[in-house]
Structure 1
Amino acid sequence: MTNRNDESAVTEAAEKTQGDAPEQGEKEPLQKETKKKGLQERLKAAEAKAEENYDRLLRVTAEFENYKKRMEREMNEYRKFANEALIKDILPIVDNLERALEIPYGNNEKASHGMREGVEMTLKGLLSSLEKFGAVPIESLGKPFDPNFHQAVMQEESEEHPENTVVQELQKGFMMRDRLLRPAMVVVSKKSDAKSGVKAEGSGDEHKIDITIQ
């Protein structure tokens, strides 16, 4: 009796096992597919993150390169114009030396010649030193009036020069490389009233210069 019961139990267990086997076999491919999808999603997320980080790296690198270039430009500008204020303070000395050359000296020709020569040498040396720092005079005499480089303080009738030509330089203008240190103070030619046909009320002159003394 006992043997029959045991055999029945074994048979039932075997049948149950055989019945469960197909169900487990069906679940395994599903689990693998789910796991595969999960891995693919994680891979896509990792790739997206890597691409985002790479783009960020490119932006940061570009910004840093732009920063370096900007700093280099600023340093070059600083080196070029670091002495601008000092040179502006020296320019009045140049003016005084040039005025000194215009003053007639005394009757002692030898002493006057020596003094004048000394002033000329000092002026020449000073201009040479300024040129080393990039400061050079603006050539104005005989040039057309240019408000970017000239400050007209008066007009003078002239038959020898075209209208609006610089006929006299009262104070030299200076450039420092490509920057204007100060404009030249000049006298500008104009047509004589008789030849220009100026009317008493409004000449309609298209070349009128606004003269402002500063």
Structure 2
Amino acid sequence: MTQINPNPSDNQPEDPRPQDGDMTVDLTLDGLEEVDDLQALADEIADKSPEVMEEEVSNCPDSLLAKEFERSLGEAQARIQELEKHGTEMTDKHHRLLADFANFRNRASRDIQMAVDLAEKKLLLEVLPVLDSFERCLSSQYQSIGDFHAGVSLINKQFIDSLRRLGVEKVDLKPGDPFDAQNTEALTTTCDPSLPDGSIAAVFENGFLLRNSLLRPARVVVNHAEPSHHEDPESNS
């Protein structure tokens, strides 16, 4: 039950607004009976609420987290820009290396082809004089077969000298030498009692070495002696 104050001035409604920063509003049923305009009070409280909210947000620890997040975000963006710059530099370097390698490959191909051409030119320059000698031999008039044979022998020596200058040497083999499977190739066998068993009976094609490496094996006939059918006299005693 509401008590009536004898002092008329005390009949004014109690101010429900907070005093000295106290934002607590008394909205009890007893207070509502003394409020003349509840809508006006609500509007007044609503006008002051944004300022209070701004002060509370500024003092809230979440603002520190936001500042820390902004700082971390700035560092991350700076790192990303640094990495993008480094990636661009690496890409440019990679492209330069590809271009250098392509130039090197083309230059190496040209050098190899030039070396092959020079080797072929050197070989032909050594062989052509031998051809010239053969042509002169064929166009000459020899008095005897012996003179013709001597001319051909000179051409043969000229050709062997040309091969020697190119690094080609003939494998020195003659009948009676032991058969060597590394430098010779057996075509067939024969039986010659005057030669040791397993020796070379005849040289069909000469072998050649190119700078001490086998260029072509010699093709030879190998001697294979037949076993003796004579019995040992001591075996019968």
TM-score (norm 1): 0.48
Larger Rg: 2
TM-score (norm 2): 0.44
Higher RCO (CA < 8 A, seq sep 6+): 1
